[in-house]
Amino acid sequence: MAGATETGEGRKKVIIDTDPGIDDAMAIFVALRSPELEVLGLTTTFGNVHTALATRNALHLLEAVGRTDIPVVEGSHVTVKFSIMNLQAVSFSVHGTQKATKLRIASFVHGSDGLGNQNFPAPASKPLDQSAAAFLVEQANLYPGQVTVVALGPLTNLALAVELDPSFPKKIGQIIILGGAYSVNGNVNPAAEANIFGDPDAADIVFTCGADILAVGLNVTHQVVLTDADREKLEQSDSKYARYLSKIMGIYFDYHKDAYFIKGVYLHDPTTLIAAVNPSLLTYTEGVVRVQTVGITRGLTVFDNTKKRYAEMTAWSGMPTVKVAVTVDAPAVVELMMQRLMTDD
């Protein structure tokens, strides 16, 4: 008889919204190797790569480790503003398509294929014939209060899910977001972190939608570094996960050496995923987050962490609060990730 773990009973149901991406690949593999989680599906978005390539990479990653039982659902190709315009009026669609070419894609971090320029063969499997937003709403309805979304890219699909079903925020269990920079600089520019910068309007919709949200920002993920010594250990492991990641990681290490002058890489996506596996490895504080959508600080996340009553109404007044991660047990996160990746099923 299958045990509770194999049947999914007692495991946290997760959907990973992802733009793979080298650190996305690490996070997805950690999820597949974590008995605490049941992965309901991968939804795709733009960010590290365009959405079509994100879908291809998600399918490829699941094929590479023999997990084609997990569905992949393609997400929006454009930011929420243009996605909604395209839905509402055909006359906007030309304009929307023009704007869509302006998406910011971080191929300089992950390679032009998103996976370390390895020229992997095209996957044989296909995504579901459904939109990511519809899949998110469907799964939230199927398992009310029980689904955790781990959002590793811009928040477009989640914003579209909120637009599609206003009761989505109350039906989804938790949304754990890799996004924002709380009281620290961004990584796209001094103001903005990449995922929020990718679609600031979507981020503001999601942060204020009233769902149970935990935001993991650069103030936390920049504390979690995979060192050269850890990389060597991964390279020496013969687990299929470690072997695959060893092939693709080089370009991510090179980028960190060039951009940050560090010998190692930041574990943004794995840290966020591990917040679902073992929430006790992070602490958080609660308040309202709003996102700047215009100007030189476009993509800035402003967290009202004061307990002050402002004299006037502000854009933060009366808005739903979210949890913002403030500390992380970085050695424990790295150790957990290594342990999961260096063993086979």
Binding site for ligand NOS (CB under 6 A): 21, 23, 48, 106, 109, 152, 187-188, 193-195, 259, 268-269
Catalytic residue among 17, 110, 268, 269: 268
Buried b (16+ CB within 10 A) or exposed e, 51-82: bebbbbbbbbbbebbebeebbbbbbbbbbbbb
Q: Is 12 helix (H, G, I), strand (E, B) or coil?
A: strand
19 is catalytic: yes
Q: At its nearest, how many Å lie between ligand NOS and the CB of residue 241?
A: 18
Using Cβ positions, the residue closest to ligand NOS within the complex turns out to be 194
Residue closer to ligand NOS, measured from CB, 164 or 262: 262
Q: How far is the CB of 194 from ligand NOS (least distance, A)?
A: 3
Q: Could you please report the per-residue DSSP string of 212-272? A: -EEEE-HHHHTT-EEEHHHHHHHHH--SHHHHHHHHHTHHHHHHHHHHH--SEEE-HHHHH
Among the options 17, 19, 165, 201, which is catalytic? 19
CB of 187 to ligand NOS, least distance (A): 4
Residue with tokens 């980028």, as numbered in its chain: 255
Give the β-pairing of 174-178 and 37-44: unpaired
Residue closer to ligand NOS by CB (options 17, 201) is: 17
Alpha helices in 46-155, H assignment, sequence order: 51-64, 80-88, 93-100, 107-110, 132-142
Q: Compare residues 39 and 188 and give the one whose CB is closer to ligand NOS.
A: 188
Residue 297 CB, nearest approach to ligand NOS (Å) = 16
> Taking the CA of residue 52 as centre, how many other CA atoms within 13 Å lie in the half-sphere pointing to its CB?
2
When the beta carbons of 27 and 72 are compared against ligand NOS, the nearer one is: 27
* 331 vs 231: CA distance, rounded Å: 15
- Among all residues, which ones are annotated catalytic? 19, 268
